Chains A and B, each alone.
Chain A
């Protein structure tokens, strides 16, 4: 039986009304979505302008996480060129050719308030602790898809390329040390106090105090991470543009909120796909009846068994 125009319109209306309701409900939920700051959010404040580049934090980080020193560069010194499967924390140097202000840059996980790595992680191997806000990785849920290495706007999670049981390495803010009442490895050794640990709110106040007390010292007189990428728990102060330290200007909206808006709206409560499915079943049921009838007619005509 062929579907008539009237039926088609009726079906579309039947499907469309709940669809519209769902979309509007979903849209409501999405507008309400603003990124919550965890109650006990802890973080790091790194002031690039007072970092002397001694790399004590790099060694301390490896020690605190019981990672063997990465001596793959020259076989002698712990001198990794970038974050890697043995390096959760690294000091890099930005030195422009023209002799203008140079700066060290400490790179480690930013512990975003809305982390892109966790948004993309299929089975939530990377997840944000609702209390402390620390983004950590669990081996039991990770399938090793390396999506986190693609999605992280700061390019922090690193995959272990060797061996049959690879791991994803990233700074987890030494959560095992925090549990013992200790500070993260990097902050416990910094000689100049360039990187300090504390509750995010306290760190923000401290950063703003420094900006206020030293007018003209800091780039744009702002704290990177206060609102960038929806806010991060690692905060940065710098003399040189943040982009030079490897911190892209991402705007106040987090990457997942900005890019997955429609994806999230469509899959909200799985309502729209379910609706589509119900509509498709109806249409195909009708088509199938007509098709079977035609097949039987062909069967009579040719004397051969119908092929559906």
Chain B
């Protein structure tokens, strides 16, 4: 790419560039990072950190509702099992875009990568807090100590490798881009790093699809060993596969739903072409998944348990109805691009998927000494606190980095905004070097 052509961008407005089409990730500008909500989230996070310190000293008993019957509480069953399922967007959308060539999904990619990273970070933190003897985690670096047939080892090892290496590396480009715009003197270095990164991208991205595929299914395999203790409506040899399937449509819902919400909150145009494509894929994923789920139950002969008047049947029909109705809403929203219905569809199907992933460990778990589990206040506050950390991280990152997709015009508007309205904010950089090579001479003079 010669810089000469780029230094003189064509001024003519390209007719192909739609006013609504998402062309470019643009930071959310004009909104302060620190506001009431953000401070509240940070406060919750700090509280959770303090409570975590207390938990490390006092042990799990005094801080949680866990007991001998329910060895796992919401830290594992919600923050790890459910949230990493929601955060599989980088896996699901990535595979759809890169492997199955749904190219329209590319604008959602940065959102998917960011939400995945934050969800996994939250999940891994809670996995560490939940472990009774976390200092022994160092065995993770000695592969000969791994019990390769243990689903939990698979989850712990694979998840930490995935979040810290491929997923983190996939999230680097927005950071490099920010540096590139920040100061022209950084550009040669940034470009060198980018070239190096691009060279390894095929192997990084492939790892970023293989590893979640492995551990998201192993999360289901975890409950296989629990045998009869998981209600027959859920316990199945196909549990790993169904867990993986649930993660795909849940994460589509999480990424597309979050993007729609952000577009509403920050008054961004919505590209219905992209959203329709995502909704179409999600609806199909849901219908196929539901079909497999029912076939599995029918072939195992467990269908009659769904008609017994107990809480298991209630949970089963609730999650099935949520997923099915959500899928149907998504399908219906395609007809005339109804955003409200589409958002409802995403929300309901993701909620149903969340309940599905939550059930085998908790709602449909029949503890052998009859016992009840309800998370204690501290347990809930810690779980919530680290979710708040992820949300605060999200709000910070979308306002400082180019994550959220927008029409091309938004980029120029942003550059103008920083140029005219906030000239004193030097650190955004975007206004100064909004275009290739623009103001290049100015930088040389100023230093």
Q: Which residues of A contact B (CB under 8 A)?
A: 2, 82-84, 116, 118-125, 139-147, 149-151, 153, 155, 158-166, 248, 250, 255-256, 259-264, 267, 270, 273, 276-277, 280-281, 283-285, 287-288, 291-292, 296, 298-305, 307-308
Contacts and interface: CB of A to CB of B under 8 A. Distances in A.
B225 A161 contact: no
A141 to B, nearest CB: 6
Given A122-B157, A159-B132, A163-B59, 17 more contacts: A139-B133, A143-B132, A144-B136, A146-B71, A161-B59, A161-B60, A161-B67, A280-B99, A281-B202, A284-B202, A301-B10, A302-B9, A302-B17, A303-B6, A304-B411, A305-B177, A305-B180
B375 to A, nearest CB: 14
Nearest to A289: B202
A250 B226 CA distance: 12
10 contacts: A143-B136, A144-B132, A145-B130, A147-B222, A158-B68, A161-B66, A262-B237, A263-B218, A284-B205, A301-B16
B124 to A, nearest CB: 13
Contacts of A116: 225, 227
B133 A144 contact: yes
A162 B131 contact: no
Contacts of B130: 145
Contact of B225 (A122, A123, A151, A159): A151
B241 to A, nearest CB: 9
Contacts of A283: 98-99
B436 interface: yes
Contacts of A270: 148
Contacts of A267: 148-149, 154
Interface stretch (B33-41, B81-89, B206-214, B340-348): B206-214
B253 to A, nearest CB: 24
Contacts of A122: 146-147, 150, 152-153, 156-157
Given A141-B136, A280-B99, A283-B99, A304 B436 contact: yes
Interface in B98-131: 98-99, 101, 106, 110, 130-131
B417 interface: no
B148 to A, nearest CB: 6
A288 B146 contact: no
Contact of A285 (B106, B202, B408): B202
A146 B368 contact: no
Interface in B20-71: 23-25, 56-62, 66-68, 71
Contacts of B146: 122-123
Nearest to B194: A308
Contacts of B9: 302-304
Nearest to B136: A143
Given A287-B98, A305-B436, A280 B6 contact: no
Nearest to B176: A308
B136 A123 contact: yes
Contacts of A2: 101
- For the complex of A and B, list the 10 residue pairs with the smallest distance between their C-beta atoms, beginning with the closest: A144-B132, A303-B9, A161-B61, A122-B153, A280-B206, A144-B133, A149-B71, A146-B71, A259-B224, A151-B225
B308 interface: no
A155 B71 CA distance: 11
Given A155-B368, A281-B202, A299-B1, A307 B24 contact: yes
A139 B152 CA distance: 18
Contacts of A280: 99, 205-206, 209-210
Given A143-B134, A147-B152, A164 B59 contact: yes
B14 interface: yes
Contact of B152 (A145, A163, A250, A288): A145
B228 interface: yes
Contacts of B106: 291
B98 to A, nearest CB: 5
